[in-house]
């Protein structure tokens, strides 16, 4: 086996990247065409990088149909920093924000909002250790809320909104870190959508935030707020207030190019993602109870598939044996246990086929 052989990658994040994007980046790493230097060595205020950032934004706007009255920002600090930025910009001490409690990541978002103002939980599935998302008639959002926060896909539990939930006219904020660009989303239904790149759209180091102009006008101005924590800084300076994460944005641009030119955009990749997820859930459902899925049937994520074997020991054995079969990243998150296969855009149908085959062999063996 070559030390450079690439395995099938089911890691949750940082996660698999499309090979053509990696190859192009590798080819141009030492010298970007006609630039005289590497992307890693050029000023973020120069012509080359400016072109790279503008092209990435234009592609993203095309792929997702983002209207002109939305700002697109390339930020640092991960989705976790967005957990803090959202309340410090849009929630006041006496104001209330409504949150959906869907799993580990939404709990962290809620904790950050509580530092700033009042939080009301619209719906929670905590008592079941987060196995589903609610239907629209199972929750209300109070009309005077500053915003309503949801997590489109709970990465750790493998529970996903495969629709745009209702928000009762309250500005809806969405942490889309783990399913951004994996399925259709109607941006006009949201006031703010943010996603750390390292799950589905690029490497760690950049976070995409898409903010509506209407919601931006509701930003609470406060001179005491650290300048980097202010959306106004990034809107006014078009993500170039300070040195932006140049290489991460460049990589996102390459992934967007692959998605648009080779995968047929959102419609094409969504079809493929559905086929991958179906194949995997079928293997779980038809295992005569050997594998048990975590998520309820109507809330199953098409990005992170979570399940268990008959015992904790076998769960561990599964991940270990899978790695010996050249499959990476199948151990479940420590807070849920079991097994998790992250099947983001860049994880191929062929990888999922290999996993399903391995699941059958593992079941017969044990």
Site for ligand PLP, rule CB under 6 A? 13, 78-80, 105, 151, 155, 175, 177-178, 196, 199
Phi (first) and psi of residue 72, to 5 degrees: -110, 125
Q: How many CB atoms lie within 10 A of CB 12?
A: 22
The smaller minimum CB distance to ligand PLP, of residues 177 and 347, is found at: 177
Question: 125, 175, 179, 315: which one is catalytic?
Answer: 175
The smaller minimum CB distance to ligand PLP, of residues 10 and 105, is found at: 105
Angle between helix axes 265-285 and 47-64 (nearest 10 degrees) is 60
The smaller minimum CB distance to ligand PLP, of residues 89 and 304, is found at: 304
Q: How far is the CB of 197 from ligand PLP (least distance, A)?
A: 8
Peptide bond before residue 14 is cis, with ω within 30 degrees of 0:
yes
Q: Which tokens belong to 233?
A: 């800084």
| Residue number, nearest CB to ligand PLP | 78
Separation CA 54–CA 28 (nearest Å): 19
Question: 123, 146, 199, 263: which one is catalytic?
Answer: 199
Q: How far is the CB of 154 from ligand PLP (least distance, A)?
A: 6
How does DSSP classify residue 172? E
Q: How far is the CB of 194 from ligand PLP (least distance, A)?
A: 9
Of residues 107, 74, 77, 26, the one with CA closest to residue 238: 74
* 258 belongs to the catalytic site: no
SS3 22: helix
The smaller minimum CB distance to ligand PLP, of residues 14 and 184, is found at: 14
The smaller minimum CB distance to ligand PLP, of residues 208 and 283, is found at: 208
* 136 belongs to the catalytic site: no
Q: How far is the CB of 163 from ligand PLP (least distance, A)?
A: 17
* 199 belongs to the catalytic site: yes
Angle between helix axes 246-262 and 47-64 (nearest 10 degrees) is 40
What is the chain's alpha carbon radius of gyration, rounded to the nearest angstrom? 21
Q: How far is the CB of 278 from ligand PLP (least distance, A)?
A: 22
Angle between helix axes 265-285 and 349-365 (nearest 10 degrees) is 10
Residues known to be catalytic: 105, 175, 199
């Amino acid at each position: 086996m070559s030390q450079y052989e690439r395995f099938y990658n089911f890691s949750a994040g940082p996660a698999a990247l499309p090979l053509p994007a990696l190859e192009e980046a590798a080819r141009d790493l030492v010298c970007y065409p006609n630039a005289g230097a590497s992307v890693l060595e050029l000023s973020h205020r120069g012509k080359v990088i400016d072109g790279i950032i503008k092209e990435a934004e234009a592609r993203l706007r095309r792929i997702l149909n983002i209207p002109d009255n939305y700002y697109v920002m390339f930020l640092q600090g991960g989705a976790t920093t967005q957990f803090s930025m959202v309340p410090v910009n849009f929630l006041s001490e006496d104001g209330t924000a409504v949150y959906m409690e869907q799993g580990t990541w939404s709990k962290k978002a809620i904790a950050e909002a509580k530092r700033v103002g009042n939080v009301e939980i619209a719906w929670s599935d905590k008592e079941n250790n987060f196995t589903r998302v609610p239907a629209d008639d199972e929750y209300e959002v109070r009309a005077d809320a500053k915003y309503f926060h949801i997590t489109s896909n709970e990465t750790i539990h493998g529970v996903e909104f495969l629709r745009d939930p209702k928000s009762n006219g309250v500005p809806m904020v969405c942490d889309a870190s783990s399913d951004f660009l994996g399925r259709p989303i109607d941006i006009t239904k949201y006031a703010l959508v943010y996603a750390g790149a390292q799950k589905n759209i690029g490497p760690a180091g950049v976070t995409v935030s898409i903010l509506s102009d209407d919601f931006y006008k509701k930003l609470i101005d406060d001179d005491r707020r650290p300048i980097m924590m202010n959306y106004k800084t990034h809107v006014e300076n078009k993500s170039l207030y300070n040195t932006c994460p140049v290489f991460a944005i460049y990589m996102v641009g390459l992934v967007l190019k692959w998605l648009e030119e080779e995968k047929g955009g959102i419609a094409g990749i969504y079809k493929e993602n559905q086929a991958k997820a179906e194949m995997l859930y079928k293997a779980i459902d038809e295992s005569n109870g050997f594998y048990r899925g975590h998520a309820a049937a109507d809330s199953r994520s098409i990005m992170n598939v979570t399940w268990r074997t008959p015992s904790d020991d076998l769960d561990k054995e599964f991940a270990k044996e899978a790695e010996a079969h050249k499959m990476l990243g199948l151990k479940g998150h420590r807070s849920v246990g079991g097994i998790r296969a992250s099947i983001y855009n860049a994880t191929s149908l062929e990888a999922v086929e290999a996993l399903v085959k391995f699941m059958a062999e593992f079941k017969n063996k044990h």
